[in-house]
């Protein structure tokens, strides 16, 4: 079930959208509501939202501004509903890379078609997204940075990039990178290297795993690259580090 954020300041309009069709039958659930761009961005930062619906019924300009602000920080799919069929309005919406623009009168069949298209895109997303979706369910209070950090811990032996994580979380990569750096006082790549090297040190100290096995366990497919990174990080080769650890143990 994909979680939907509905941005609409009008309560009656919200109810009409809720009752327009059987959302859950199509695999979507409207579980979050926002009145404006600031509320929408706050929810996107704290919750795992798969689709944003922005109503243009009350105020076209406000709705388009909300769309613009979201696009500055997130790539989450957006469907605009209830707008006019003015060519310039539609062209502006398309510039924000929205999934669809449904003009008045809004028909259930049109919304259904859009939802099915978006669902296919979401279903076809990388299987790695399943890990990311599971994290907020286990701990609803987790911030977006906590989610990124836990994902790194669980996928440390995989090819991890901030660009991939940003896409899966529907965040702008540059924005998420800056947010991470502000929160952790280090870049995402520095954090990723730190976590890989610290785990490698632990495995060298506490296991009899071969060096190439440890390299693979922390996400390195090329053993020479692992050796280079490990020595730069610790000042010793992996073999030297293991010997030193056994002496001091």
- The pLDDT of residue 239 is 94
Rounded Cα–Cα distance for residues 194 and 49 (Å) = 30
Q: Is 60 helix (H, G, I), strand (E, B) or coil?
A: helix
Greatest CA span in the chain, whole angstroms?
A: 77
- The pLDDT of residue 142 is 60
Dihedral (CA of 17, 42, 50, 131) sign: negative
**Element holding 105 (H helix, E strand):** none
- The pLDDT of residue 139 is 46
- The pLDDT of residue 141 is 46
Task: Kindly report the pTM of this predicted structure.
Answer: 0.55
Class of 128-248 in CATH: mainly alpha
- The pLDDT of residue 138 is 46
Contact 54, 62 (CB under 8 A): no
What would be the CATH architecture of the domain defined by 2-123?
3-Layer(aba) Sandwich (3.40)
- The pLDDT of residue 4 is 95
Contact 218, 201 (CB under 8 A): no
* Per-residue pLDDT tens digits for 138-162: 444 467 888 889 889 888 998 999 9
- The pLDDT of residue 154 is 85
Domain spans, the chain: 2-123, 128-248
Dihedral (CA of 12, 17, 20, 24) sign: negative
Provide the residue-wise pLDDT of the chain in tens; the chain has 249 residues: 899 999 999 989 999 999 999 999 999 999 899 998 899 999 988 888 999 999 988 777 788 889 888 988 888 899 999 877 777 777 777 778 888 888 888 899 999 999 998 888 887 665 455 575 555 544 444 678 888 898 898 889 989 999 888 877 777 888 889 989 999 999 999 999 999 999 999 999 999 999 999 999 999 999 999 999 999 999 999 999 999 887 765
């Amino acid at each position: 079930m994909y979680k939907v954020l509905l941005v609409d300041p009008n309560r009656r309009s919200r109810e009409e959208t809720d009752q327009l069709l059987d959302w859950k039958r199509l695999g979507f659930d409207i579980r979050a509501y926002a009145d404006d761009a600031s509320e929408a961005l706050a929810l996107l930062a704290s919750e795992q939202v798969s689709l944003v619906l922005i109503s243009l019924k009350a105020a076209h300009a406000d709705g388009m501004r909300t769309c613009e602000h979201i696009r500055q920080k997130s790539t989450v799919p957006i469907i605009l509903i209830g707008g006019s069929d003015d060519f310039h309005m539609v062209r502006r919406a398309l510039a924000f890379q929205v999934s669809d623009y449904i003009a008045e009168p809004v028909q259930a069949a049109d919304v259904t078609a859009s939802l099915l298209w978006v669902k296919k895109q979401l279903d076809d997303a990388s299987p790695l997204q399943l890990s990311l979706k599971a994290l907020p369910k286990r701990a609803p209070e987790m911030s977006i940075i906590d989610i990124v950090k836990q994902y790194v811990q669980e996928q440390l032996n995989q090819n991890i990039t901030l660009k991939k994580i940003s896409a899966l979380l529907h965040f702008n990569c540059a924005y998420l990178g800056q947010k991470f750096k502000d929160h952790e006082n280090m870049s995402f790549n520095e954090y990723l290297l730190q976590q890989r090297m610290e785990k490698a040190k632990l495995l060298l100290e506490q296991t009899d795993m071969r060096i190439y096995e440890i390299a693979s366990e922390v996400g390195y497919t090329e053993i020479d690259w692992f050796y280079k990174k490990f020595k730069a990080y610790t000042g010793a080769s992996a073999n030297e580090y293991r010997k030193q650890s056994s002496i001091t143990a």
